[in-house]
Amino acid sequence: MDIRAKLLSLIQVAEGPLSTDCWLWIGARNNWGYGYIGYSGWSEGVHRVSWIVSRGPIPNGIYVCHHCDTPNCFRPDHLFLGTPQDNVADMIAKGRYRGVQQIRLAAERSHDR
């Protein structure tokens, strides 16, 4: 199945914190609430795949962050690119900071991208 069709087949449109509705992924999710999808031979974050198909490649070490603070949302205009530092600052600013381990995992993740 085409990746865009696959994304749109598992969507739930729901009211979010922004003026436009969130597109929630109703497929597989990881422990942090991020949706995952098989893409290019591995499991990739749905929000990342959404960015790639709608806007193009994500630079190495760069995160796809959420304006709407809804990890499971993959609406392209709710997403923005940030560095791991931006992402951590964003998490702290939004009260999503959950301690050292998450930052360490985030840093490790950025190394293999």
Torsion angles phi and psi, residue 42, rounded to 5 = -145, 175
Position 60, amino acid: N
16 binds Zn ion (CB under 5 A): yes
Give the range of 13-21, 27-35, 51-59, 81-89 binding Zn ion by CB under 5 A: 13-21
DSSP helix/strand/coil, 41 = coil
78 binds Zn ion (CB under 5 A): yes
Helix (H) or strand (E) holding 80, with range, is: strand 79-82
88 binds Zn ion (CB under 5 A): no
71 binds Zn ion (CB under 5 A): no
Cα distances from 14 to residues 73, 96, 110, in angstroms, run 9, 21, 30
Nearer to Zn ion, 70 or 87 (CB): 70
Q: Which residues bind to Zn ion, rule: CB under 5 A?
A: 16, 22, 68, 70, 73, 75, 78
